[in-house]
């Protein structure tokens, strides 16, 4: 197996390790995080008060896993030249820094920050070196456009998951002494 194949398959492996952390920590920490989001942000009240349900997290991560798996396969098939793979890889690396910034801003642990400096960013730096050694630019207009599209894609994944699950997107925890179904 050559380095381009390792980088392409490694993208999904690094994502899986990172998202395993998110799978375990996102639902429990989302109530605190969503409660601190400015009131002008269009977050449904039930999510703001109770956070995300584990089902919502599972579905959202599953959707993203399918997209990252597709990008990884495209990377293998094109020997790293796929714009979907290169843009996804760029977004993956950048999102690692976003996790770090979020933890600094919150002054506490936030979901994804443990594996960002240990898995996400080191893998991204290594994969970039592999692409460069093979004469492939990670940063061109098309791959940057794909990378930039990832933020609305992540938000869209949460919205789509909410549409699928409805009120089951919110954690089923007591609010103000009452137990709400959801």
Mean pLDDT, residues 66-76 taken together: 96
Q: What is the pTM of this model?
A: 0.86
Asked whether 78 and 138 are in contact (CB, 8 A), the reply is no
Give the model confidence (pLDDT) of 97-154 as tens digits.
Answer: 999 998 998 888 999 999 999 999 999 999 999 999 999 987 888 888 888 888 788 8
As a whole number, the mean pLDDT across the chain is 89
Give me the pLDDT at residue 42, please.
86
What sign does the CA torsion over 45, 48, 53, 59 have?
positive
Give me the pLDDT at residue 132, please.
95
Give me the pLDDT at residue 178, please.
45
Gap between the Cα atoms of 112 and 109, Å rounded: 9
From 10, 7, 11, 9, select the one nearest 130 (Cα to Cα).
7
């Amino acid at each position: 197996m050559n380095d381009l194949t390792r980088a392409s398959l490694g993208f999904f492996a690094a994502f899986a390790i990172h998202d395993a952390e998110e799978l375990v920590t996102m639902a429990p920490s989302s109530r605190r995080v969503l409660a601190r989001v400015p009131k002008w942000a269009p977050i449904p009240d039930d999510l703001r008060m109770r956070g995300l349900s584990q089902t919502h997290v599972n579905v959202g991560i599953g959707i993203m896993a399918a997209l990252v798996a597709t990008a990884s396969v495209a990377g293998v098939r094109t020997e790293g030249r796929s714009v979907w793979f290169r843009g996804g890889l760029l977004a993956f690396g950048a999102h690692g820094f976003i996790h770090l910034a979020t933890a600094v801003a919150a002054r506490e642990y936030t979901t994804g920050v443990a594996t960002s400096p240990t898995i996400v960013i080191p893998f991204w730096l290594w994969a970039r070196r592999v692409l460069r050694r093979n004469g492939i630019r990670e940063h061109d207009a098309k791959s940057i456009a794909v990378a930039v599209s990832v933020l609305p894609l992540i938000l869209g994944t949460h919205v789509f998951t909410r549409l699928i699950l409805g009120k089951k997107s919110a954690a089923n925890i007591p609010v103000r002494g009452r137990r709400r179904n959801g």
